[in-house]
Each structure stands twice: as structure tokens, then as C-alpha cells.
Chain A
Amino acid sequence: MNVGERLTDENFPESPEKATLEGKNKFLGFWLFLGGETVLFATLFGTYLGLRNSFGKGPEASEIFQLPIVFIATMILLTSSLTSVYAVLALKQNNVKAMRAWFYVTLLLGVAFLGLEIYEFVHYVHEGHTFTSGAFGSAFYTLVGFHGGHVLFGVLWIASLLVRNSGRGLTLYNAPKYYLFALYWHFVDVVWVFIFTVVYLMGKVG
């Protein structure tokens, strides 16, 4: 069967994301890539932990962090992970319509999260907590901004996947792409859980 051919319910494999060698390679390669990403974020977390009390000329963490808004952002992002799980479940059942719908919800939630993060950053800058106000500011915006950059990349990724494949069913060529996006999205969400704990909760409580 040609990898570009639309899959039917009859010939639908159990795991379309890794039914071909290319798919298998992408699947494994992406997991390994996420391993590298873990080191990337671990290094940022380590740097942040080393500098989180060096406020310089800016305000202290406990003065500025607004837990309610961060909590809402967290809920939005975790929900978007759930919707991407539903999307992958639909993918495994060859239910393209439902899959696309769930991915659109995921996309929307991702955009909402980004909006909240931008609002939050603007607010902090007004309070005098800037990238250059001290080591804490540099470390905070680098770590949280790096995560935000990942969210932005994910949003662009799923958006272009959805547009490119509109009107096309699942194939052994595009199924791995959808699947890998979901993996990526979970990873980005897990990193946020750590940010919520290490940056915001520890920043508020001390």
C-alpha cells in the first residue's frame, strides 16, 4: 500500500503512527528528542534555582506573582493535554472528524494560554520586574519564555498540520505527524507543571 493512500476502516493498522519504518523512526526519534529537551529545560531550571533570590533592582517574586491567573493558565494548558488525548484516541479509531475537532480545541486552548502569558508578562514589566532588572528577572523570563516559545511553536505546528490536511483522511504519512504533535504537546504541558511548582508556588511561598 502506498503511504500517501487514505486509510480505510478495513486496512487500518493498530498503530498507524508506527506502521511503517519511517513512522517507527519518527516515533523513536521524537522520544529521544524529548529526552534532549528534558536536559534543555533541566539546565534552565537549575539556572533559575540558582538565581531565583537574586532580585537585583526588581521586585521580589512573592510581591508580584499572581497565583489566580497562573492557576487559570495551568488549567487551560492541562485541559489542552486532555483534548489532545481525545484527538489521538479518535485517530486510532480512524475518526478523522473527531480528531480534527479535538485538535482544534487543543489549538484554541494553546492560544488562550499564550494570551494569558503575554498579559502576565506585560503586567510584570509594569511592576518593574524586567529581563534586565536582575538575575532573577533574566532567569524567570528565559525559563518561562522558553516554555512559552515551545507553546507558540506547538500552536503553529498543529495549525499548519490541520490546514495542510484539511479534506484529507488519515494516511500512514500524516498519522505519525499528528501523533508526534500530541507527544510534544504533553511534554510541553509536563514542563509547565514543573514551572508552576518551582517558579510560582515556590516563588510565592519562598
Chain B
Amino acid sequence: MSNAHAANKSVLWDWLTTVDHKKIGILYLISGGFFFLVGGLEAVLIRIQLMSPEMAFLTGDMYNQVLTMHGTTMIFLAAMPVIFAFMNAVVPLQIGARDVAFPFVNSLGFWLFFFGGVLLNLSWFLGGAPDAGWTAYAPLSTQSSGHGVDFYVLGLQIAGAGTLMGGINFLVTIINMRAPGMTFMRMPLFTWTAFVTSGLILFAFPALTIGFFLLMFDRVFEANFFDANMGGNAVIWEHIFWIFGHPEVYILILPAFGIISEVVATFSKKRLFGYSAMVFATVLIGFLGFMVWAHHMFTVGLGAVANSIFAVATMAIAIPTGVKIFNWVFTMWGGRIKFNTANLFSVGFIPTFVMGGVTGVMLAVAPADYQYHDSYFVVAHFHYVIVGGLVLGLFSGLYYWYPRMFGLMLNEALGKWNFWTFFIGFHLTFFPQHFLGLMGMPRRYFTYPAEFELGSLNMISTVGAGLMSIGTIIFLINIVVTHVKGEKVSGDPWDGRTLEWAIPNPTPHYNFLQTPLVRGLDALWIEKMAGNKKMTPAEPVGDIHMPNNSILPFVMSLGFFIAGFGFIYFNTAGTPALIAVIVGLGIGLACMFLRSWIDDHGHHLHKEDLLKEDKGVDV
């Protein structure tokens, strides 16, 4: 038995070698959560500096570093991994699968992300963090002195490779590993959004990979891609970055849409209104996400025709998004709504995201964008979408799926405090920023003179940031309280509708003893309505094939981490850097080689043991 097998080894070894998607989900959640706190701390530092005119708390280069790292950390090291945490924890369960398609690659993807994030953040201790903004526009980034931007390029390159692997993994999992009867149009909406998001990752991240290579070649190997003196062109960086960067926005927000759809339906005790329209809207948003990157570049001078096309394409996204908003509202309409914390975050999400969407359409008006461009109005807009959209969605998902992931229920009283402080703090922080932008406050600047009269709104904004911090601290307390109390809950604490609630708590590591037979949308709810105590199985109890644990993903990622260091110091450290590159890449290649050399057929859990283990659990 693999359980007994794992018990022989230490806990640490178990987590380092695990290929179980549920454990990898928890690893993503913990490390993503940690980077969220780091990014949040950086945000608070920024807000303290901007609290009142001519502050001298965090100025010049230090401000640039904190600003750059706040954006980079939040997008790449906090938001993405927490999304992957949910995808890992929930998607295989929702489609009735025993595993993801590539468990080994799943583990590799996590460790690459982890080491990439660590590498990027080590820059703080090794001579300075990147300081060219999270968009790293050339030639600012190519001419940035020190090694900050090199850390940015190599750290994100390694993390990005992990993300791409995760995307492919989930695409294949969702296409190939659905339980019998789980047709595409019966998939829960979170799985749908995970599917579209994975598709976007597949086509967006390779562009970024190339962008990082070009930037690295310019900085480390003296190439001339972005150096106008040698015939290079800095606008190429902007195109490449935003061909990745705009779809990235939808990579982030679509899973949040999926979470909201699950939570609103569950706590309204109704099936999701307009399911097929929701699916269509998700796919359409994903498609349009690739058509709009140049709206980040209206003022670059691409010309009136290009600006018009991209403006109209951008505005078109409001239509499927509007469909979603209405469908959530109609789902609640006439439902028996239960306002627990998970649902509060979802309901709070809806108007907040609408506000972010409205300013998005304002920004899509190309002539008006010349006015808003690079002002705090833009900062307000994207925080409304990313924090007011994504982060509220992630909180909602966390409260909703915590019982599934950890077998425990987060405290409701603390959860409500968490929601109200965070929600009010959020609006207090970012609502005034719209007006600051319209009053002429530029983004990225570390101060403003007193006579511009920007002080009072900035002060309100900083107070709001403090309130958001309090909300986050309450959430951390909630986690501690929950785990100290440790009250176990049943496998289906919300009276859920989808398959992830059809299994006992704690989730067995093979997920489903018998693959369920899906008979319609909201598969579990259908069985409940038919008066069944459990899912109808699609197969008799039999041997279950499981993948073997492996340390190779960890070692391989460590190899690329070492090689990354080598490339970062390639220009200044000479031979030691070259040795690091060779050793690091050597470790990486050797691990690939071992992986293909050693046959790994996985192992089987035997029917008799499974039945023995399963005895007494009400499935």
C-alpha cells in the first residue's frame, strides 16, 4: 500500500516528492499565499510613501524597486499560483478524475514556479531588486544598472516555464480524463474557466518566454534587439510583452469568474442561470483576450487605424462580461441566498468588478486614453479589476473549498470581519485613485508637491490600505484559529452541487474509489434530487493505477535555479558564473535523462486493500 509506504519516509520528503495534485495544490496555496504577503507588504510601503506630499520614507531607486516588485510579485508569484492551487485542488475532482494527466509534470511545474519566485526575491539581498517596472519596458530595462533586471528576467523565465507546463497539464486532464457522462456541456463552470485559462496560458506564455530571452540576450550577451543605436526597436518589447500581458489579465480573471459561478449557485440553492451562455461567454472572452494587446500602446503612435481596431475589440469584451454579470444576478434572483463568508465575497465581487469594467471601457476609448494614460486613473482601474475581481474571487474560493482542501471549516465570525474590513478597505484605497488620476497624478512617481492638493485623497487611500491589511491579518488569524480548533467537517458541508463534494473527508489520495457516472449538469445535485445517498458508480471496485513519487522535479528545478544565478552574474563574475551555468544546466539535463532512462510504470492499489481501507466511511 502506498500509504504505508509513504509513512516510512519523513513528512518533508513526502512533500518534496509528492505528485498528488491535492498536495501540490496545497503547496501552491502556501507559497502563493506567502508571496501575497510579501507583495502586500510592498504595497503598504508604497502607500506610506504616497500618504502625504513630499514624504521621504521611500524615495528614488528604492521606491522603483518596491514598485516593480509589488507588481511582479502580485501577478506572477501570488495570483497565478493561488489560481493553480485551486485548479489542482478542484478540477480533477470536479470532472471525476483520479489524477491529473501528468502528475510528474505537475510537480515539476510547481517547483519551477517556486524556485523562480525565490530567485527573483533573492535580488533584495543581493544588491537590489529589479527597478524597471513590472512591464520592464525597454530601453529602461536594458539600461538599468546592477543585476536587478537580470533577476527579473531569469526568475520569471523559470517560473514561467512551470506555468506553461501547468497549462498543458490541465488542458489534457480536462479533455482526456473526464468521468463517463461528463460531457463538455456538463462540466462545472470552474472547470470550464480553468480550461480556457489553460488554453490562454498555452498561447500567451511562449511569447513572454521569447521576450525574456531577448531581454536577457540584450543585457547579458550584448545583443541589440532593443538598442536603437544598433538598429534595435524598443516597441518590439512592448508588443511581445502585451501579446502575453493582455491575455494574462484574462488568465487571472477567468478562474475568478468560475469561482463566483460555483459559489453563487451553491448558496442560492439554484442551478447557474444561463449555463451555456456562461460557457460561451468564457470562451469568447478568452478569444478576444488575444485581440486587444495594443490598447496598452495607444499613445505609442501606432496610428489611427490600429488604435481604432484595438479600441473596438477591447470594448467588445464588455459584452460577454456583461452576460456573466447578469447571469450571476439572475442566479441569485428568487434563490434561497445564504450570506456566509464565501458568498459575501462573491456578492461583493459583482458590483466591484462592474466598476472596474466600466473604467476599462473608458480607457478603451483611444482619444480619451491620451488623457488617462499613465495616470493614477489606470492604477485605480486595474486594481479594481485585479483586486476587486480576482482577489475577492480567490477569497471566496478559499472559504468555499477550504473544507475540501484541509478538511476544516474556516471560522465564520472571523470570516465576516475579514470580508468587511477587506472590502471597505479596498474601496477606500482605490476609489479615490480614480479622482487622483483625473486631477493629474501620474503613476510610478514617488512623490507630489503640496500645492497640487493631492494630499487628502492620498491620505484616504493609505488609510484604506491599512484597513485591507487588517482584513488580511484577520484572515491569517482565522487560519490559525481554524487549525488549532481542528474541527473536522463532512465531505459535503455546503450541500454542494458538483462532484468535488461527492467524496469523503479527508479526500482519499485516489480521489474516487469508483469513477462516478455523470448524468447531467450539477452531477451530485441530480443524484441528491433522485434520493440517492451517493453517486452512481460507472465501474465496479477494482485496482487503481497511481503514479510514483519522485524527487526529480525538485532537483531539476534546483538545477535551473543554479543556472539562473550563473546567467545573472555572467557579465560580472566571469568563471564562477560560467561554472554555475554549466553545473545548473547539467543537473537539469541529467534529471531529464534519468526521467527517460528509468522506466516508471507507477503502482497499483489493490482492490482488497481499498475495500478494507474504505470500510466505515460513508461515501
A28 and B599 in contact, given A43-B211, A142-B223 (Cβ under 8 angstroms): no
The reply to whether A36 and B236 contact each other, CB–CB distance below 8 Å, is: no
> Which listed residue, B101, B102, B202, B207, touches A43 by the CB 8 Å rule?
B207
- Kindly specify which of B225-233, B432-440, B464-472 makes contact with the partner chain: B225-233
Closest to A171 in B: B599
For A108, the chain B residues whose CB sits under 8 A away are: none
B344 in contact (CB, < 8 A): no
Q: Mark B96-117, 1 if CB is under 8 A from A, else 0.
A: 0000011000000000000000
Bound form: Cα–Cα A161–B169 in Å:
23
| Nearest-Cβ distance from residue A30 to partner chain B, whole angstroms | 9
Q: When chains A and B are docked, how far (Å) is the Cα of A67 from the Cα of B186? A: 56
Q: Determine whether A128 belongs to the interface, using a CB cutoff of 8 Å to chain B.
A: no
**Best-surrounded residue of B207, B218, B240 (most CB of chain A within 10 A):** B207
Indicate whether A32 sits within 8 Å of B225 (C-beta atoms), given known contacts A40-B206, A47-B236, A160-B593.
no
| Cβ contacts under 8 Å, B209 to chain A | 40
**Chain A stretch 7-43: residues in CB contact (< 8 A) with chain B:** 21, 24-25, 28-29, 32-33, 35-37, 39-40, 43
Also in contact, A132 and B223, with CB within 8 A (given A24-B176, A56-B230, A56-B231): yes
- For A39, give its contact among B101, B176, B203 (CB under 8 Å): B203
Shortest beta-carbon distance, B224 to chain A, in Å? 5
Among A74-82, A92-100, A111-119, A133-141, which stretch is in contact with chain B?
A133-141
Contacts of B221 in A (CB 8 A): 131-132
Given A40-B210, A132-B222, verify A29-B240 contact (CB < 8 Å): no
Q: How far is the CB of A106 from chain B (nearest CB, A)?
A: 18
Count of B interface residues, CB-CB < 8 Å: 42
Q: Is the CB of A50 within 8 A of B168?
A: no
Decide: B233 and A50 in contact? CB cutoff 8 A. yes
Determine if B101 and A29 form an interchain contact, defined as CB atoms under 8 angstroms apart. Answer: yes
CB distance from A3 to the nearest CB of B (A): 6
Query: Is there an interface contact between A54 and B232, defined as CB atoms closer than 8 Å?
Result: yes
What 1/0 mask marks residues of chain B from 179 to 221 whose CB sits below 8 Å from any chain A CB?
Answer: 0000000000000000000000011111101110110011001
What's the tally of chain A residues with a CB closer than 8 Å to chain B? Answer: 39
Known: A54-B231, A131-B221, A139-B225. A47 touches B596 (CB 8 A): no
The reply on A164 being an interface residue by CB < 8 A is yes
What 0/1 pattern do residues 54 to 79 of B give for CB contact below 8 A with A?
A: 00000000000000000000000000
Q: Is A136's CB under 8 angstroms from B213's CB? A: no
The closest CB in chain B to the CB of A172 belongs to B601
Would A51 and B236 count as touching, CB distance under 8 A? yes
In the complex, the answer to whether A135 meets B213 with C-beta atoms within 8 Å is: no
By the criterion CB–CB under 8 Å, are A25 and B172 in contact? yes
Q: Find the A residue at minimum CB distance from B101.
A: A25
Contact yes or no, A135 B225, CB < 8 A: yes
CB of A43 within 8 A of CB of B176, answer no
Cα A35 to Cα B599 in complex, Å, equals 28
Question: In the bound complex, do residue A29 and residue B225 qualify as a contact, i.e. CB atoms below 8 Å apart?
Answer: no
> Contact between B225 and A36 (Cβ–Cβ < 8 Å)?
no
**CB-nearest residue of chain B relative to A135?**
B231
**Complex alpha-carbon distance, A146 and B141, angstroms:** 23
CB within 8 Å for A135 and B230 given contacts A36-B205, A39-B203:
yes
Closest CB in chain A relative to B410 CB, distance in Å? 35
- Is B6 among interface residues, defined by CB-CB distance under 8 A? no
Residues of A within 8 A of B223 (CB): 131-132, 138, 142
Assess whether B597 is in contact with A29, with CB atoms less than 8 Å apart: no
Residue B243 lies at the interface, judged by CB distance under 8 Å to chain A: yes
Residues 164-182 (chain B) with a chain A CB within 8 angstroms:
164, 168-169, 171-172, 175-177
Per the bound structure, the CA–CA distance linking A54 and B164 in Å amounts to: 32
Whether A47 contacts B207 in the complex (CB less than 8 A), given A4-B601, A160-B593, A177-B596, comes out as no
The answer to whether B224 touches A138 (Cβ under 8 A) is yes
Q: Provide the B592-619 mask, 1 if CB < 8 A to any CB of A, else 0.
A: 0100110101000000000000000000
In the assembled complex, which residues on chain B have CB atoms less than 8 Å from the CB atom of A136? 231
Question: Is the pair B206, A135 in contact by a Cβ cutoff of 8 Å?
Answer: no
Rounded to whole Å, the gap between the CB of B175 and the closest CB of chain A is 6
Tell me which residues across on chain B come within 8 A of A35, comparing CB atoms.
Answer: 202-203
Contact flag A43-B240 (CB < 8 Å), given A28-B176, A29-B172, A135-B231: yes
Q: What distance in Å separates the Cβ of B228 from its nearest Cβ neighbour in chain A?
A: 9
User: For chain A residues 189-204, which have a beta carbon within 8 Å of chain B?
Assistant: none
Are A29 and B169 in contact (CB-based, < 8 A)?
Answer: yes
Residue of B with least CB distance to A139: B225
Q: How far is the CA of A43 from the CA of B227 in the complex (A)?
A: 18
* Closest chain A CB from B216 CB (angstroms): 11
The winner among B164, B213, B224, B593 for most chain A CB atoms within 10 A is B224
> Would A134 and B231 count as touching, CB distance under 8 A?
yes
Q: Which residue of A lies closest to B201 (CB)?
A: A36
Closest chain-B Cβ to A112's Cβ sits at a distance in Å of: 23
Q: Which residues of B contact A21 (CB under 8 A)?
A: 176-177
Which chain A residue lies CB-closest to B547? A22
| A61 shortest CB reach to chain B, Å | 13
Q: In the bound complex, do residue B224 and residue A134 qualify as a contact, i.e. CB atoms below 8 Å apart? A: yes
Residues of A within 8 A of B171 (CB): 28-29, 32
Q: Are B172 and A32 in contact (CB under 8 A)?
A: yes
Task: Quote the shortest CB–CB distance from A34 to chain B (angstroms).
Answer: 10
Q: Does A105 contact B (CB under 8 A)?
A: no
Query: What residues on A are CB-neighbors of B233 within 8 Å?
Result: 50-51, 54, 135
Contacts of B101 in A (CB 8 A): 25, 28-29
- Once the chains are docked, how many angstroms separate the CA of A110 from the CA of B338? 64
A32 touching B168 in the complex, CB below 8 Å, given contacts A51-B236, A160-B593: yes
Partner of B172, one of A28, A37, A164: A28
Chain A residues within an 8 Å CB radius of B601: 2-4, 173
Closest 4 pairs between A and B when the two form their complex, measured CB to CB: A54-B231, A138-B223, A135-B231, A39-B206
Q: What would be 5 A-B contacts, judged by CB atoms less than 8 Å apart? A: A28-B172, A36-B168, A47-B210, A51-B225, A51-B231
Report which B residues bind A (CB closer than 8 A). Answer: 101-102, 164, 168-169, 171-172, 175-177, 202-207, 209-211, 213-214, 217-218, 221-225, 227, 230-233, 236, 239-240, 243, 593, 596-597, 599, 601
Additional A-B contacts beyond A50-B236, A131-B223, A138-B224 (8; CB < 8 A) = A32-B202, A36-B206, A47-B236, A54-B232, A131-B222, A132-B222, A138-B225, A138-B232
Question: Which A residues form the contact surface with B (CB < 8 A)?
Answer: 2-4, 21, 24-25, 28-29, 32-33, 35-37, 39-40, 43-44, 46-47, 50-51, 54-57, 131-132, 134-139, 142, 160-161, 164, 173, 177
